[in-house]
Amino acid sequence: MAEEVCAPLSGKVLSLAAEVGSSVEEDDEILVLEALKMETVVYAPCDGRLKEFKVKVGDQVEEDDVLAVIE
């Protein structure tokens, strides 16, 4: 079953720390958001395989936007 990774806050996607298709474990770093000159790391909420990113570097996201899907 797929699990969506949602943005914890509004900000800009600064970097993607994992590759689509790679295995991730709970609490692995997936991507980094920047808001108000501060970086916020987004972690995998579960073990699985990174199915897709719904965003790319430079995208502006709002709180609760879906960033990635893990299955």
Q: What is the CATH number of the domain that holds 46?
A: 2.40.50.100
- Within 8 A by CB and 6+ apart from 38, the residues are none
Q: What is the pLDDT of residue 11?
A: 97
**Counted domains in the chain:** 1
Residues of the chain with pLDDT under 50: none
Q: What is the pLDDT of residue 1?
A: 77
Give the global pTM.
Answer: 0.92
| Structural domain boundaries, residue 59 | 3-70
